């Protein structure tokens, strides 16, 4: 199967075009140590490969360097049939800088190339028309105007793409030999000749930016959006969580009635539905988190948030570019740590990576949700739009962010604060405001849920089986005489000052494999004791067991700070190149988390 490669600059509609051409038939290849990923999907009889967005063939970061390296490899490959370069019709000059470089590269390697002039609907909305035939003549390549969002010209483009892929030699660039102008000069000339004027495009954007980036209102709006983000994780996901919990409970009862009494019945009821089932309840929260972050990113607000945060973050030794890894850390610390590679300053990059684990990732969601359901009443405000549990969620996330900033300040003072003279200034492109498109956003939500289940599911299953086995034998379910009780009572003195018994100690230890395992472990432990009462109601079982408010809050604070994730430690080691830093952070955050939990248990 021959390949068609799709390239373009970031925020140019390239990903949406890729989704429209391939549908959901996609695969992702990740490269270790960086955030670069190549998406591929089926298009007609070809394999369409979506390369990461880059602004130029001259790299500024390790991520861009690897992306460009892979592009050169694709150009050398006989499997590559055609190159498709995506252009942002609203920002023709910046798109053509990269587009012209790719055109010259395609000519150098004897590859056919066509240009997709995307977002033509926005250009038409401004009352402007682009003469694609004359632009194609000047570029020496075929140009097709389309809108991946509104589907304008997309059908015609698909037909042309299939035709070009079948006979790529007919689509080799035709360059004017006498044209010796630089790429920048040519792109500027072509933009003036064909593109919509910048002041027309920026007029509406600047009006909105004047409000959203205002010194006073911008900060208030930013805090309000962040509050709604964390509030939505609990409030909006509740109906879906209730549905999943009800389905699990009914399934457990039906399966239990079908099986004969004995070891197999106990295993399925307690280990599977009590352990693995306990974490499936929280998948809707992962989906809601992905949905809200996707809205912010696709609408163009995420880049504005980074700009708003630059000045405040600089007080803590960070830059505005640290905001995106920090926000990504609320989904998962591993890609967030790798995303910090885009920070030019080595010192700021290291500090950002070292403090990202303090962001409350999605793996902590099940832990927070469980403990909040146990300790915090579901008090409603403003007609149910806001509730006390959601506010508690926001406070926990805020504590993590505040701790990260305080640690950043301390690390800045302990390291060399003299700025590198070669350090680049903070420069960030602000994308045009756009309405998000449901198709790629929906695909992203489903992918995040699948990845969460695939990553956490096998670990939780193995841990649940081991815990059930240790808790069931040697006396067939008598927990007090089990192997697990022996292990738990041996480590119990460590957790007694926190107001926690041996079961919580065991759950904390096994959660080092993955934080979300804590819920599955407790589900198995409490399921063994209370399976006949309520298999899926783990929160009710813990409430009945008498977890105190101080111990519960201490446990939440422990998981806010503790680096309970072996994968994060491994990623830190790989990115920093230092085993000392990675395990040093594990110990330091563990000690700090224990002290905070002890203070909460002692004072509350």
Q: Which two tokens stand for residue 117?
A: 């002039």
Mean pLDDT, range 319-348, rounded to an integer: 77
Write down the pLDDT at residue 24.
Answer: 58
Write down the pLDDT at residue 32.
Answer: 37
Q: Which of 141, 169, 197 is the last residue in one of the domains? A: 197
Which of 290, 269, 353, 319 is closest to 532 using CA atoms? Answer: 269
Of the two residues 213 and 170, the one the predictor is more confident about is 170
DSSP state of 445: H
Of the two residues 594 and 301, the one the predictor is more confident about is 594
Q: Count how many Cα atoms sit within 13 Å of the Cα of residue 270 in the half-sphere of its side chain.
A: 29
Q: Is residue 291 part of a domain?
A: no
Write down the pLDDT at residue 28.
Answer: 47
User: Is 600's pLDDT higher than 50?
Assistant: yes
Range of the domain at 87: 3-197
- In this structure, what is the dihedral angle of CA atoms 424, 331, 554, 588, given to the nearest 10 degrees? -40
Which of 365, 372, 370 is closest to 389 using CA atoms? Answer: 372
Distance CA 275, CA 295 (A): 33
Q: Which of 154, 182, 197 is the last residue in one of the domains? A: 197
User: Is 285's pLDDT higher than 70?
Assistant: yes
Task: Give 239's pLDDT tier (boundaries 50, 70, 90).
Answer: confident
Q: Which two tokens stand for residue 341?
A: 């590679």
Percent of the chain with pLDDT over 70: 86
> 124-139, pLDDT tens digit by residue?
887 888 999 999 999 9
User: Is 533's pLDDT higher than 50?
Assistant: no
Q: Which two tokens stand for residue 506?
A: 């065991």
Percent of the chain with pLDDT over 90: 26
Which of 141, 138, 134, 187 is closest to 160 using CA atoms? Answer: 141
Distance CA 182, CA 422 (A): 26
Mean pLDDT, range 174-181, rounded to an integer: 59
Distance CA 487, CA 481 (A): 11
Mean pLDDT, range 69-88, rounded to an integer: 92
Q: Is residue 392 part of a domain?
A: no
Please give the tally of structural domains in the chain: 2
> 361-371, pLDDT tens digit by residue?
878 888 888 88
Write down the pLDDT at residue 553.
Answer: 93
* CATH code of the domain covering residue 156: 3.40.50.300
Residues 120, 145 contacting (CB under 8 angstroms): yes
User: Is 155's pLDDT higher than 90?
Assistant: yes
Residue 91's SS3 state is: coil
Distance CA 515, CA 362 (A): 9
Mean pLDDT, range 161-167, rounded to an integer: 93
Q: Which two tokens stand for residue 91?
A: 């920002």
Of the two residues 344 and 598, the one the predictor is more confident about is 598
Alpha-helix residue ranges (DSSP H) falling in 174-260:
183-194, 198-212, 217-235, 238-258
Q: Is residue 351 part of a domain?
A: no
Environment class of residue 136 by beta-carbon count within 10 Å: exposed (0-12), middle (13-18) or buried (19+)? middle
Distance CA 308, CA 213 (A): 7
> 570-592, pLDDT tens digit by residue?
778 877 888 899 899 999 999 99
Environment class of residue 436 by beta-carbon count within 10 Å: exposed (0-12), middle (13-18) or buried (19+)? middle
Write down the pLDDT at residue 206.
Answer: 76
Write down the pLDDT at residue 245.
Answer: 78
Q: Which of 58-67, 163-172, 306-315 has the highest mean pLDDT?
A: 163-172
Write down the pLDDT at residue 35.
Answer: 46
β-strand partners of 42: 47
Q: Is residue 341 part of a domain?
A: no
Mean pLDDT, range 533-561, rounded to an integer: 80
Of the two residues 297 and 79, the one the predictor is more confident about is 79
The whole-angstrom distance between residue 165's C-alpha and the CA centroid of its chain comes to 34
Q: Is residue 57 part of a domain?
A: yes
Distance CA 15, CA 201 (A): 22
Give the H or E element holding residue 489: helix 483-495
Write down the pLDDT at residue 523.
Answer: 76
Question: Could you give the strand order of the β-sheet that contains 46-50, starting from the edge strand earlier in sequence?
Answer: 26-30, 37-43, 46-50, 3-8, 80-88, 112-118, 142-145
Q: Is residue 523 part of a domain?
A: yes
| pTM value surpassing 0.85 | no
Write down the pLDDT at residue 162.
Answer: 93
Q: Which two tokens stand for residue 318?
A: 């960070």
Within 254-388, strands assigned E span 380-381, 386-387
A 10 A CB-CB count for 208 gives 13
> 385-426, pLDDT tens digit by residue?
778 888 888 899 899 999 999 999 998 888 765 544 445 556
Mean pLDDT, range 493-522, rounded to an integer: 84
Mean pLDDT, range 478-487, rounded to an integer: 76
Mean pLDDT, range 70-78, rounded to an integer: 91
Q: Is residue 165 part of a domain?
A: yes
Of the two residues 469 and 130, the one the predictor is more confident about is 130
Q: Is residue 294 part of a domain?
A: no
Write down the pLDDT at residue 450.
Answer: 80
User: Is 357's pLDDT higher than 90?
Assistant: yes
Beta pairing class for 3-8 and 80-88: parallel
Environment class of residue 425 by beta-carbon count within 10 Å: exposed (0-12), middle (13-18) or buried (19+)? exposed
Task: Give 427's pLDDT tier (boundaries 50, 70, 90).
Answer: low
Q: Which of 197, 227, 259 is the last residue in one of the domains? A: 197
CA 263, 267, 268 angle in degrees (round to 5)?
Answer: 120
Residues 218, 212 contacting (CB under 8 angstroms): yes
Mean pLDDT, range 37-53, rounded to an integer: 86
């Amino acid at each position: 199967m021959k390949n068609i490669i799709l390239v373009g600059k970031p925020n140019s509609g390239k990903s949406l075009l890729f989704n429209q051409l391939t549908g959901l038939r996609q695969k992702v290849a990740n490269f270790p140590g960086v955030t670069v990923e190549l998406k591929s999907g089926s298009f007609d009889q070809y394999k369409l490969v979506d390369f990461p967005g880059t602004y130029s063939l001259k790299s500024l970061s390790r991520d861009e360097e690897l992306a460009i390296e892979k592009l050169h490899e694709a150009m050398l490959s006989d499997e590559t049939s055609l190159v498709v370069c995506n252009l942002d019709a609203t920002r023709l000059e910046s798109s053509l800088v990269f587009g012209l470089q790719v055109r010259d590269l395609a000519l150098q390697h004897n590859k056919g190339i066509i240009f997709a002039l995307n977002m033509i609907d926005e250009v038409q909305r401004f009352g402007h028309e682009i003469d694609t035939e004359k632009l194609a003549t000047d570029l020496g390549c075929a140009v097709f105007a389309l809108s991946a969002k509104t589907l304008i010209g997309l059908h015609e483009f698909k037909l042309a793409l299939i035709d070009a892929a079948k006979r790529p030699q007919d689509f080799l660039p035709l360059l004017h030999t006498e044209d010796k102008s630089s790429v920048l000069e040519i792109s500027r000339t072509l933009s003036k000749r064909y593109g919509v004027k910048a002041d027309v495009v920026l007029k509406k954007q600047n009006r909105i930016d004047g409000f959203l980036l205002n010194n006073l209102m911008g900060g208030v709006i930013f805090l309000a959006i962040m509050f709604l983000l964390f509030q939505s994780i609990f409030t909006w996901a509740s109906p879906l969580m209730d549905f999943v919990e009800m389905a699990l409970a009914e399934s457990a009862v039906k399966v239990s009635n079908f099986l004969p009494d004995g070891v197999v019945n106990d295993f399925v009821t307690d280990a599977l539905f009590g352990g693995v089932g306990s974490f499936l309840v929280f998948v809707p929260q992962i989906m809601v988190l992905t949905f809200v972050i996707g809205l912010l990113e696709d609408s163009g607000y995420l880049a504005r948030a980074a700009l708003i945060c630059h000045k405040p973050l600089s007080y803590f030794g960070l830059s505005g570019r640290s905001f995106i890894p920090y926000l990504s850390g609320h989904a998962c610390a591993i890609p967030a740590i790798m995303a910090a590679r885009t920070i030019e300053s080595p010192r700021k990059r290291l500090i950002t990576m070292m403090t990202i684990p303090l962001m409350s990732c999605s793996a902590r969601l099940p832990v927070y949700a469980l403990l909040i359901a146990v300790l915090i009443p579901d008090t409603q405000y403003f007609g149910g739009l806001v509730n006390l549990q959601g506010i508690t969620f926001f406070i926990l996330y805020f504590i993590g962010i505040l701790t990260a900033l305080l640690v950043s300040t301390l690390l800045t003072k302990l390291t060399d604060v003299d700025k590198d003279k070669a350090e680049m200034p903070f420069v960030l492109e602000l994308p045009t405001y756009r309405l998000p498109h449901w198709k790629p956003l929906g695909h992203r939500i489903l992918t995040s849920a699948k990845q969460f289940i695939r990553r956490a599911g096998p670990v939780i299953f193995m841990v649940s089986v081991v815990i059930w086995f240790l808790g069931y034998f040697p006396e067939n379910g008598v927990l007090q005489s089990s192997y697990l009780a022996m292990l738990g009572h041996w480590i119990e003195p460590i957790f007694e000052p926190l107001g926690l018994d041996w079961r919580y100690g065991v759950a904390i230890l096994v959660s080092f494999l993955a934080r979300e395992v804590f819920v599955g472990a407790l589900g198995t432990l409490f399921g063994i004791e209370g399976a006949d009462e309520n298999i899926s109601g783990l929160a009710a079982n813990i409430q009945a067991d008498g977890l105190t408010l101080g111990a519960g809050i201490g446990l939440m604070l422990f998981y806010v700070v503790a680096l309970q994730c072996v994968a994060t430690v491994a990623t830190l080691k790989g990115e920093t190149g230092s085993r000392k830093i990675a395990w040093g952070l594990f110990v330091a955050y563990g000690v700090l988390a224990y002290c905070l939990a002890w203070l909460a248990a002692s004072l509350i």
